[in-house]
Each structure stands twice: as C-alpha cells, then as structure tokens.
Structure 1
C-alpha cells in the first residue's frame, strides 16, 4: 500500500450512518451479483445471502439491546425485517424464491440512510 493510501485512510472519517450506508452498499452489490450468476454457482449465492443475513442479524441484536437509544417501534421494525430476511434467505437458498425483495429492502434502507434530498447509489 502506498504512503498516499495510508494518508487517505488515516484522514477519512465516517459517521456511523455513512459506515452503515457503505456496508449496505457492499452487501447489496454482492446480492445483485449473486442474483445474476448461474444457479449452480452455489458458493457465490450462499456467500451473498449469508453476508446479508449476518448484517441483519447484527442489526437485530443491536436493536434488542435495552440500552439502544432508537425508538422502540423502529427497533421492532428492524427486528421484524431481520426475521423476514432470514426466512427469505433460506427460501432463496432452497431455490424457492429469488433475491429481488432482499435487494429492494436493502436499497430502501440505503435511501433512508442517505437522508433527505440525497439519492442512494
């Protein structure tokens, strides 16, 4: 890694919201790619689904923490979405459904993280 890359990394600071947006972007791109590969490419498909499921599981765990400062209804919604993501991911893994709703959920979250007047990438 070059000196310039270290300087860039050292000076880059993200808010938690920006970090969440970036992570959702990475996971969503993985899902979008997995949706396009041949169904026989099980590793690519399962890796993307597992990454997305782990992201949502971490969010649900954080929302179940009594010290979480978010409003209880929002926390409950996030936990509910996490449960749905888990069930739907299993259906996709079994070949019973597709990736589209998982991608759309993540894009919706990204729009919310982007804030008003900004478009999610």
Structure 2
C-alpha cells in the first residue's frame, strides 16, 4: 500500500480532535522550517505563515457558529487567539521572534489536543 493510500485511510478513521492535532503539527513544522529561510526565500516563509493564519481563521469561523459545541468561553478564547495570530503573522514575515511566538501558541494548543498518554506535544 502506498503512503498516499495509507494517509487517505488514516484520515477517514481519524476523529476531529486527532485531525486538528495532526494539522497543527503540519502547520507548526512548516513554520519552524520557514524560520530558517533567508531573504531569498521570503515567499516560502510567507506561505507557511499564511497557512497558519488561514488555519486559525477557519477555527475562528467555526467557533463563531451557533452550532459549535464548545463552551462559549473556549470559543471566545479561540477567536481571540485567531485575531492575535493574524496580527502577529504580519510581524513574523521578517521577525523570527514573532515566528517563535506563533510556534509556541500552536504547541500549547497541541498539548491540549494530544491523545491521552502522549504527554508533551512535538511538532518536530
């Protein structure tokens, strides 16, 4: 079985929390790699940061829906984080400290999403 077929099968059996954890890991790894890109690879850095911003925007949109089952306080916190991430992304284009902040936010969220017994979230 090819890797693509395995990945497709895995995504069909994955619960939403695991899918979110996996997505956070992929996006966070992309940002960690983008941190190392030099000025000649600014578009790659921008792509990784934009992926993160789009992910957070999608989570905020979902949290603004009345049908979202999360507690209202958690939904509000996710929306607030999304706004912060959007602002921080503009700074992160040229500032590694801002990238580090975004990576740390994602890692913190991953710790909360991690399957029981997995312990510390690892994006690398």
TM-score bracket, normalised by the shorter chain, equals 0.7 to 0.9
- Taking structure 2 as the reference length, the TM-score comes to 0.86
Equivalent residues, number: 117
User: 1:35–1:98: 8 Å Cα contact kept in structure 2?
Assistant: no
Structure 1, unmatched stretches of 5+, are none
SS of corresponding position for 1:99:
helix
When residues 117 and 37 of structure 1 are mapped into structure 2, their CA distance, relative to the original with a 3 A threshold, is: same
User: 2:31–2:48: 8 Å Cα contact kept in structure 1?
Assistant: yes
Structure 2, unmatched stretches of 5+, are none
1:75 aligns with 2:71: no
- Taking structure 1 as the reference length, the TM-score comes to 0.88
User: Whole-Å Cα distance in 2 between the matches of residues 8 and 47 of structure 1?
Assistant: 26
When residues 91 and 116 of structure 1 are mapped into structure 2, their CA distance, relative to the original with a 3 A threshold, is: same
1:8 aligns with 2:6: yes
Report which of the two structures shows the higher radius of gyration computed on alpha carbons.
Answer: 1
